[in-house]
Chains A and B, each alone.
Chain A
Amino acid sequence: MSASLEKGIHALKEVIDAPIASYFESCVHCGLCAEACLFYTETGDPKYTPIHKVEPLRRVYEQEYTLLGRLKKAVGLSKPVTDAELDQWQELVYDSCTMCGRCSLVCPVGNDIVYMIRKFREGMAVSGHVPDGIRSATKRTVEIGGPMGLKWPAVANVLRKAEESTGLTIPVDKEGSDYLVLLSSMEIVNYPEYIEALAKIFHKAGISFTLASDAFEATNAGIQIGNSDLAKVIVSRIVDAAERLKVKYVLSPECGHAYMAIRWEGPNLIGRPFGFEVVHVLELLDELRQKGVLKMKDKLKDPLILHDPCQIVRRGGVLQAPEPLIQQVAENYIPIADKQKWNWCCGGGGGASAIHTEEAEALRAKVFRIKKRQLEEAGVNTMVTFCANCRITIEEGLDHYEMNTKLLGLTELLAEHMED
């Protein structure tokens, strides 16, 4: 078994639906989506125009599902999609699209372009046109359990350290808990403070929680690469664990696409609604804040801006929680013009940060200028966000431009300033 063009076309035939058809038929080539895409605004290269990134998908739609398209194909007016073409598009579909969904917000005819990209990736994945970085991350997630190849003993180790430093117990595989806490590999490896913060907050609020030794990983490279079968394998682990442990809630970590995978794609991948609720950590925190449980002992004085991760806010719908939370802990929060659902992507979402080719990295650095500009315009040296992947991408960007900006995670920030 191996990837092939036929499989790709076959997959596209499966996923093309009425919205895709309606979107393609509506496009008037106005190019306004380009103005909403950081890959275009920062490079000025028209090939990064979002709707252009799904051009092969349009051709397949036209050739397979429209009468005129079939006729055109039959008489040779419309050339079939080729491997070479898809290879050319790989860069456009993965390297230069973070599935941030900003284009879907501006399209005047209402096209949800990111919806189209997500479907197009189904074809790209099985036709073999995926960046190695994402492919290997997917393989590791399916075969080992996480995109970084992290195994439970290592996680257990981190948890033990967190228990030591907080003096709190972190339950594992405890049946009947309120919350099943998920983590992302990046958090475990790069930001273990997140786990400590969470333990403190749960303890304070008196909420029972547990981790699952066979489903600690929330990230889902399957949806980034764009394969529902693999995404289903990955998400099923969480569903199985949550049902086995009989939890009421599954807590999604800060990580953006993990939330997308479990909260919005999950039930559709396994083909049935969940018997539990999926909650993003910020939603829980905001609920606690409203209940008065989340009290601060002091506030951060530094002026700062917030980076709203695309998959959590614009595409995930966690619109209201972040601002009250940051105001809870920061004295000088400066709202920026393009905030909330209008935020600009960090440049590393949708699996892009897993692509480590020279070109991809150079492109990421280039488009990071939009974040740089936001920082400079606000005149601040501190940025807060709530997505592990955004944090890594932004750190890289800050390094690249040698900026001495402080980047903080919202949950940790809250834990740090919380009343003991």
Chain B
Amino acid sequence: MQGPLIDTLARQGITRRTFLKYCATLASMMALPPAAGRAMAEAMAAARRPSVIWLPFQECTGCTESITRSHSPTLEGMIFDMISLDYQETLMAAAGHQAEEARHAAMKDNAGKYLLVVDGSIPLGLDGAYSCIGGRSNVDILKEAAEGAAAIVAMGSCASFGGIPKANPNPTGAVSVSDIIKDKPIVNIPGCPPIPVVMTGVLAHYLTFGSLPELDEKGRPKAFFGETIHDRCYRRPFYDQGKFAKTFDDEGARQGWCLFELGCKGPVTYNACATVKWNGGTSWPVESGHGCLGCSEPDFWDAGGFYKALSVPADPLKIAAAAAVAGAVAGVAVSFANRAKKNTAKQTHEPITVDDLEK
């Protein structure tokens, strides 16, 4: 099981050229120079598979689905062949105490070297009682597992930023991995779910260069999160021309015009959907006629409504009527005071004679 990766791949009928081609494309997606594709292929082909422990917390398993159901299992699935996935509740055959033992064994055997992948947020409410595995709270497990990890990958928006569990009013006190773990390198791969190739890209980078890729200030790989959906959107020319779909079934929608007015969050969402697309490059939300929800941004759930355009107030004129009335009342009150003052001045007018001109 611990031989060079290329042998494992070969056994599965994946040729070296297929692998090279895959690495070239991966390097291109990660905005690495073309030569890096070759380096990646060589490094990974020869790499010993690192131990990976995957901890699912307060999550919906969508992230796992995203990775495992990726359209070309031979390609994205390869990543699971590159690693030794020692613990993944959903995928592993073991269950119960057996599974927990496997995790402990992996942590012990690979102390300081394993990669920790987390999906789901971590509830802190009621001492973490909202989500427990084997009687232990998520936060305990995370802290323990993080201790010996070389690096942590926060998969999906929940692990990265708290995600839907953290949405108002956040009953479980959900937080992200980086809210708890401060002393380890953490890569955030937000998205609900995240794009599979980002995960593979990060792992490939780690395997090739032994380090995490360049991250932005939110801990996201710059290569994938460097630009907004809006910047790369194929409907962008319509935005620039001022052509907008006004409803989901009007002529503009049929013509494929910009979905800004229908609440698309593309302009404030950093992700690679517009270029990488989904389902093996078949399509992506905007292409299928729906605006971006902004799922890879922090607190996207509370960002003022999915169908409200960005330039539109979240709750228009909430206090406007009251303010207008208050203004009118204040104005009328001042008016009365002013008129009274002026009238008093007029009534107390003392006729002026020439003598009054002298000081």
Contact = CB atoms under 8 A, between A and B. Distances in A.
Q: Do A and B come from one complex?
A: yes
Is chain B's binding surface mostly helix, strand, loop or mixed?
helix
Is chain A's binding surface mostly helix, strand, loop or mixed?
helix
B207 to A, nearest CB: 65
Contacts of B359: 2-4, 128
Contacts of A227: 352, 357
Interface in A205-243: 225, 227, 229-230
Across the A-B interface, give the 8 residue pairs with the lowest CB-CB distance, nearest first: A128-B359, A13-B345, A229-B352, A14-B345, A139-B354, A142-B354, A3-B359, A65-B338
Contacts of B330: 67
B8 to A, nearest CB: 76
Contacts of B355: 1-2
Given A14-B346, A229-B351, 13 more contacts: A1-B350, A2-B359, A3-B356, A3-B358, A7-B350, A16-B342, A64-B341, A65-B338, A67-B330, A125-B357, A130-B357, A142-B354, A229-B352
B353 interface: yes
Contacts of A225: 357
8 contacts: A2-B355, A13-B341, A139-B354, A225-B357, A227-B352, A227-B357, A229-B352, A230-B353
Contact of A7 (B334, B338, B342, B356): B356
Interface string A128-159: 10100001001100110000000000000000
B335 to A, nearest CB: 10
B182 interface: no
Contacts of A10: 345, 348-349
Interface string A61-89: 00011110000000000000000000000
A227 B357 CA distance: 9
A126 interface: yes
Given A10-B348, A64-B341, A128 B354 contact: no
A143 B165 CA distance: 91
Interface in B328-345: 330, 334, 338, 341-342, 345
Contact of B358 (A16, A66, A128): A128
A135 B356 CA distance: 10
Contacts of A16: 342
Interface residues of B, number: 19
Contacts of B341: 13, 64-65
Interface in A1-31: 1-4, 7, 10, 13-14, 16
A229 B357 CA distance: 12
A130 B357 CA distance: 8
Contacts, number: 60
A138 B354 CA distance: 8
B92 to A, nearest CB: 70
A67 B329 CA distance: 13
Contacts of A229: 351-353
B347 to A, nearest CB: 10
A143 B341 CA distance: 34
A64 B348 CA distance: 16
Interface in A38-66: 64-66
On chain A, which size bracket covers the interface?
20 to 34
A52 B356 CA distance: 27
Contacts of B354: 138-139, 142-143, 230
A7 B357 CA distance: 11
Contacts of A4: 359
A66 B337 CA distance: 10
Interface string B295-329: 00000000000000000000000000000000000
B339 to A, nearest CB: 10
Given A65-B341, A67-B330, A1 B349 contact: no
A70 to B, nearest CB: 9
Interface string B267-297: 0000000000000000000000000000000
B356 A1 contact: yes
A3 B342 contact: no
Contacts of A139: 354, 357
A3 B357 contact: yes
A3 B352 CA distance: 9
A144 B341 CA distance: 37
Interface in B54-92: none
Nearest to B335: A65
A7 B352 CA distance: 10
Interface string A245-287: 0000000000000000000000000000000000000000000
Interface string B122-147: 00000000000000000000000000
B334 A67 contact: yes
Contacts of A143: 354
A2 B352 CA distance: 9
Interface in A290-332: none
Contacts of B353: 1, 142, 229-230
Contacts of B349: 10, 14
B337 to A, nearest CB: 9
A14 B344 CA distance: 9
Contacts of A65: 338, 341-342
Nearest to B339: A65
Contacts of A142: 353-354
Nearest to B346: A14
A190 B321 CA distance: 68
A139 B345 CA distance: 25
Nearest to A140: B354
Nearest to A127: B359
Contacts of B356: 1-3, 7, 126
Interface centre among A7, A13, A16, A227 (most CB of B within 10 A): A13
Contacts of B345: 10, 13-14
A284 to B, nearest CB: 33
A227 B352 CA distance: 8
Interface centre among B330, B351, B353, B357 (most CB of A within 10 A): B357
B332 to A, nearest CB: 12
A300 to B, nearest CB: 44
A132 B359 CA distance: 11
A260 to B, nearest CB: 20
A5 B341 CA distance: 18
A249 to B, nearest CB: 30
Contacts of A128: 357-359
Interface centre among B346, B348, B354, B356 (most CB of A within 10 A): B354
B352 to A, nearest CB: 4
